[in-house]
């Protein structure tokens, strides 16, 4: 149960971080988004920087949604896990609780991946040449984390 609480707290922190990043990005990118989309009568002028800002917003939003849904599933699993051991309701909900923990874990990992993938996009916004280098670094690190203990 303690592990479930720690996972819930961690997913909550990730969701909060993504929400703050999303709000900050929208605030900082607002003027350029407004100038590109707000007054456009035809096709908006999509620059590489604008495209990167939109990708950044999409990554942060995806991280927020994934982390929030992970919190939801962890909360449901916690409710099921807090039922008295051996009780009939807990036996009925045990399979659903295990499924909720699995779903929450998957969503939590996707939320973290989206948050980590923000780094190359931000690097590209700061200087276009640093984006591909940062992307290769992030992919290498994520690949290494995913392969730990599988040899």
Kindly state whether residue 148 falls inside one of the protein's structural domains: no
Taking the CB of residue 113, how many other CB atoms lie within 10 A of it?
17
Kindly state whether residue 9 falls inside one of the protein's structural domains: yes
pTM metric for this prediction: 0.77
- Compute CA distances 60 → 3, 33, 79, 105, 123, whole Å: 26, 16, 29, 18, 15
More confident position, 53 or 43: 53
Instruction: Tell me how far apart the alpha carbons of residues 53 and 48 are, in angstroms, rounded to a whole number.
Output: 9
Domain count for the chain: 1
Kindly state whether residue 30 falls inside one of the protein's structural domains: yes
Kindly state whether residue 14 falls inside one of the protein's structural domains: yes
Two tokens, residue 15: 């969701």
Kindly state whether residue 90 falls inside one of the protein's structural domains: yes
Kindly state whether residue 147 falls inside one of the protein's structural domains: no
Kindly state whether residue 126 falls inside one of the protein's structural domains: no
pLDDT score, position 35: 64
Instruction: Tell me how far apart the alpha carbons of residues 2 and 15 are, in angstroms, rounded to a whole number.
Output: 20
Kindly state whether residue 138 falls inside one of the protein's structural domains: no
78: domain range?
Answer: 2-116
**Cβ proximity of 15 and 85 under 8 Å:** no
Reported as a single tens digit per residue, the pLDDT across 78-93 is: 888 889 998 999 999 9
pLDDT-above-70 percentage for the chain: 84
What is the 8-class DSSP label of residue 47? -
Give me the residue label for tokens 């900050």. 24
Mean pLDDT for all residues in the chain: 83
pLDDT-above-90 percentage for the chain: 30
pLDDT band at 149 (very low <50, low <70, confident <90, very high): low
pLDDT score, position 21: 80
Instruction: Tell me how far apart the alpha carbons of residues 95 and 20 are, in angstroms, rounded to a whole number.
Output: 35
pLDDT at 151 over 60: no
What is the 8-class DSSP label of residue 83? S
Give alpha helix (H) positions in the chain. 2-33, 48-81, 88-116, 118-126, 130-146
């Amino acid at each position: 149960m303690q592990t479930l609480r720690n996972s819930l707290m961690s997913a909550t922190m990730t969701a909060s971080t993504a929400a703050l990043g999303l709000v900050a990005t929208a605030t900082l990118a607002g003027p350029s988004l407004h100038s590109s989309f707000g007054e456009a009568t035809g096709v908006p002028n999509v620059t590489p920087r604008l495209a990167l800002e939109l990708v950044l917003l999409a990554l942060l939003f995806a991280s927020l949604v994934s982390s929030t849904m992970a919190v939801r599933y962890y909360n449901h699993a916690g409710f099921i896990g807090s039922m008295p051991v051996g009780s009939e309701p807990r036996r009925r909900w045990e399979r659903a609780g295990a499924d909720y923990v699995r779903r929450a874990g998957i969503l939590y990992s996707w939320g973290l991946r989206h948050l980590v993938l923000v780094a190359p996009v931000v690097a590209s916004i700061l200087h276009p040449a640093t984006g591909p280098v940062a992307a290769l670094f992030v992919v290498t690190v994520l690949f290494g984390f995913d392969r730990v203990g599988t040899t």
